[in-house]
Copies of this chain bind each other. A is one copy, B any other.
Amino acid sequence: MKTIKVNLKKRSYNIIIGSGLLKQAGRRIKSMNIGSDAFVITNARIKNKYGSLLSKTLQAAGINVKFKLVADSEKSKSIAVASEVIRDLANFDKKRKVFIIAFGGGVIGDLSGFVASVYKRGIAYLQVPTTLLAQVDSAIGGKTAVDLTQGKNLVGAIYQPKAVFSDVAVLKSLDLRQLKSGMAEVIKYGLIKDPVLFAYLEKKSKDILRADTKSLLNIVWRCSLIKARVVEQDEKEEKGMRTILNFGHTLGHAIEAAAGFEKYNHGEAVALGMLLACIVSSKLGMSTGNACLRAEKLIRACGLPERIRGVSTDKIIKAYYRDKKFTGSKNRLVLLKNIGTTKIVENIPLEVIEGALKERI
């Protein structure tokens, strides 16, 4: 078991990483003294698999448990669902001190964190991520949100959890596509910050995709460490340090949006976005060919898509500019100089981005 502290002064918390953590979570949570009544937000699939395990450990520690199920879909990240969750939370919150456990992937983590941030002007919550993607990325750093029809993550807050419990044992029951999707974020950390991690992934991708415990522990730990250090430097995303975490995401989001959030899941879109960022880097003479080739080879080895299917260049470019306009952000991409080294470049000519897209469509 490993612990990483996220240093954010009064808002500091630990990320605890292990295999089989869940069984002993009750005692640990009890010792944190954050409340007596756990309101667990999850979906039916996760509750069926791990609900009784979590219930038992909490109850053994004297903590009352109430499960709140939401649909296993991005559609759960809405104000309407948040409102329903808050209503049930207030009904449960009658006697003692309630806190929230976000027990699921990114959707549940984002939704639960948002509910925790606004209920009674903020109550304690824990992240217990059950997907690789959530363990290495979304459960860490306090970004919470729900979507609007006008765009994703438009309503929310930066609101830190009291702890993150990442039990890699639960990743064994993920379907392969979800595991692969998480790998896209893992590859991202290697590319932007950690050549040693990247080399490890090149060697171990097969082990990871068959959910080998030791490999999973290693990658969740290394990625969590990188994320924690970036968040410490720029908690509120005001100073630009968090920007490098967007490597592959800017064009990835455009592909996701252009494809109507159906064809590609988040990790698949990020994999494509990283490949495109590599191509743009090469076109601008920034990246050594070797780094891009290695990135492409690893993405392929992880069974992530290398080519964009069923969406036009035009649609992707439109989605890219719509997003830029709406968020008020600049025409700016995180590009790759070498494995582990990035550069943020502004005002990239449209034809360069179009050229990169055409190579992959």
Most buried by B among A119, A120, A149, A325: A120
Complex interface: stretch among A84-92, A223-231, A305-313, A339-347: A84-92
Task: Check A157 against B122 for contact (C-beta < 8 Å).
Answer: yes
- A138-158 near B? 1/0 per residue, CB < 8 Å: 000001010011110011111
Q: Give the docked Cα–Cα distance between A80 and B155 (Å).
A: 14
Task: Check A120 against B154 for contact (C-beta < 8 Å).
Answer: yes
A74 part of interface (Cβ distance < 8 Å): no
Q: For A122, give the chain B residue with the smallest CB separation.
A: B157
Partner of A86, one of B79, B95, B96, B117: B79
Task: Check A97 against B158 for contact (C-beta < 8 Å).
Answer: no
A173 part of interface (Cβ distance < 8 Å): no
Given contacts A79-B86, A148-B87, contact A119 B154 (CB under 8 A): yes
A59 part of interface (Cβ distance < 8 Å): no
Q: Give the docked Cα–Cα distance between A148 and B82 (Å).
A: 13
Q: Give the docked Cα–Cα distance between A143 and B121 (Å).
A: 9
For residue A143, which residues in chain B have a CB less than 8 angstroms away from its CB? Answer: 121
Q: Which of A154-183 contact B (CB under 8 A)?
A: 154-158
Q: Which of A214-244 contact B (CB under 8 A)?
A: none
Q: A-side binding surface: helix, strand, loop or mixed?
A: mixed
Partner of A326, one of B86, B94, B114, B148: B94
Task: Check B117 against A154 for contact (C-beta < 8 Å).
Answer: no
Partner of A90, one of B114, B120, B151: B151
Q: For A327, give the chain B residue with the smallest CB separation.
A: B120
Most buried by B among A79, A95, A143: A79
Task: Check A155 against B86 for contact (C-beta < 8 Å).
Answer: yes
Task: Check B156 against A121 for contact (C-beta < 8 Å).
Answer: yes
Task: Check A150 against B95 for contact (C-beta < 8 Å).
Answer: no
For residue A119, which residues in chain B have a CB less than 8 angstroms away from its CB? Answer: 154-155
Q: Give the docked Cα–Cα distance between A91 and B150 (Å).
A: 7
A260 part of interface (Cβ distance < 8 Å): no
Q: For A158, give the chain B residue with the smallest CB separation.
A: B121
Q: Give the docked Cα–Cα distance between A117 and B145 (Å).
A: 12
Nearest 5 CB-CB pairings of A with B: A90-B150, A79-B83, A118-B155, A90-B148, A121-B156
21 A–B contacts from the bound complex (CB under 8 Å): A79-B79, A79-B86, A80-B83, A83-B83, A86-B155, A87-B149, A90-B148, A90-B151, A93-B326, A94-B325, A94-B326, A96-B328, A97-B328, A117-B157, A118-B155, A118-B156, A118-B157, A119-B154, A120-B155, A121-B145, A121-B158
* Known A118-B156, A120-B154; 5 more pairs at CB < 8 Å: A79-B83, A97-B328, A119-B155, A121-B143, A121-B156
